[in-house]
Amino acid sequence: MAVQLNRSLPTRSSLAFPHRIFHKAPAPPTLLSLRSQKLSSGSGDPLLSNVSSFGPRKSVNLDRPEASIGSSGSSSSSSSSSSAIDFLTLCNQLKTTKRKGWINQGINGPESIADHMYRMALMALIAGDLRGANRESFMSGTGQERGFFRCIKIAIVHDIAEAIVGDITPSDGIPKEEKSRLEEAALKEMCEVLGGGTRAEEIKELWEEYENNSSLEANLVKDFDKVELILQALEYEMEHGKELDEFFLSVEGKFQTEIGKSWAAEITSRRNSWWGNKPKTDHLAQ
């Protein structure tokens, strides 16, 4: 279904997922209407085109000076600014949506999706050398930069589709293939909100590289994803005195790089030292 001009962008709560049990964050502020994008046009996907349950909308007259960013500039410039702010406002959902695994464990005030991605980007920034990957970026024969700079960018976008679909976890009972399909469709929507072009294509390319685990950089970021998970699990164990074995068991034997294996071993060692003779409990510490 095409979104017409003078409509605000739908919130993630409008998506009609089967058996939807995702934690919903507060609705984001009303967005400026999209100037020239037609979301979900011809997609035929009821999960991304069902707009029957959209919340209240606010129409904006884009002809008014105050409705346009950079209105004194060219129309293409203000259109680009509008698309950028629409996209960034949609990404606010990443800051406000809490990670489902911690919610299921009863963790109070758990990390958000953006929290998770940010620390993964820091991991890419401080990681040691990875054989076959350059510390700085460089251009390969295909015109793609490789190296740790690319790892940072992959980390920033790898969960970006969750701004629309939410944090889908194994407990939701959605098959891996279906999860990937939903996220790919959501990513397409986000790239259309951004207005297409070079940056949108780059985001799509980075996301697909991670999803397909198709490069050394993707291998490393996949490992960072698991390292960040167990590091956060250890921190919650120390904070709450609650055993979170399932998160450590879920990543056993799945690390692909020496950096990932080394960091995971360090976290496990610290965890063993922390617990020592301390009693574990299935309930949060009071």
pLDDT tens digits for range 26-65: 444 444 333 333 344 444 444 444 323 323 333 333 333 3
pLDDT at 171: 87
**pLDDT tens sequence across 242-263:** 999 999 999 999 999 999 999 9
Termini Cα distance of the chain: 50
Task: Please provide residue 176's backbone torsions phi and psi, each rounded to the nearest 5 degrees.
Answer: -60, -40
Q: Which long-range contacts (CB under 8 A, 24 or more apart) does 268-273 make?
A: 268/230, 270/234, 271/234, 271/237
The mean predicted confidence, pLDDT, of the chain is: 76
**pLDDT tens sequence across 150-197:** 999 999 999 999 999 999 998 899 999 999 999 999 999 999 999 999
Query: Where is average pLDDT lowest: 3-17, 178-192, 225-239?
Result: 3-17
Confidence of residue 76 (pLDDT cuts 50, 70, 90): low
| pLDDT at residue 114 is higher than 80 | yes
pLDDT at 143: 42
The label of the residue with tokens 């496990």 reads 268
Instruction: Report which of residues 59 and 219 the model is more confident about.
Output: 219
Question: Which percentage of the chain shows pLDDT scores above 70?
Answer: 63
CB neighbours of residue 186 within 10 Å:
22
